[in-house]
Amino acid sequence: MEKINVGCRFTLSVMSDNFIDIILSALNEVDMSKVQRKTDRVSTFIEGTAKDVFEVVQAIYKSAGKSEKHIVLNATFSTGRHEEYFEERK
**CATH code of the domain covering residue 39:** 3.30.70.930
Q: Is residue 89 part of a domain?
A: no
* pLDDT reading at 38 higher than 50: yes
Model confidence, pTM: 0.83
Strand residues in the chain grouped as ranges (E)? 6-15, 36-39, 44-48, 70-79
Total domain count for the chain? Answer: 1
- Which domain, by its residues, includes 36? 6-84
Q: Kindly state whether residue 67 falls inside one of the protein's structural domains.
A: yes
Nearest to 35 by CA among 19, 13, 58, 14: 58
Check pLDDT > 70 for residue 61: yes
Average pLDDT over residues 57-78: 95
* pLDDT tens digits for range 10-20: 999 999 999 99
Assess if residue 90 is contained within a domain.
no
Higher pLDDT, 70 or 89: 70
Band (pLDDT 50/70/90 cuts) for residue 84 is: low
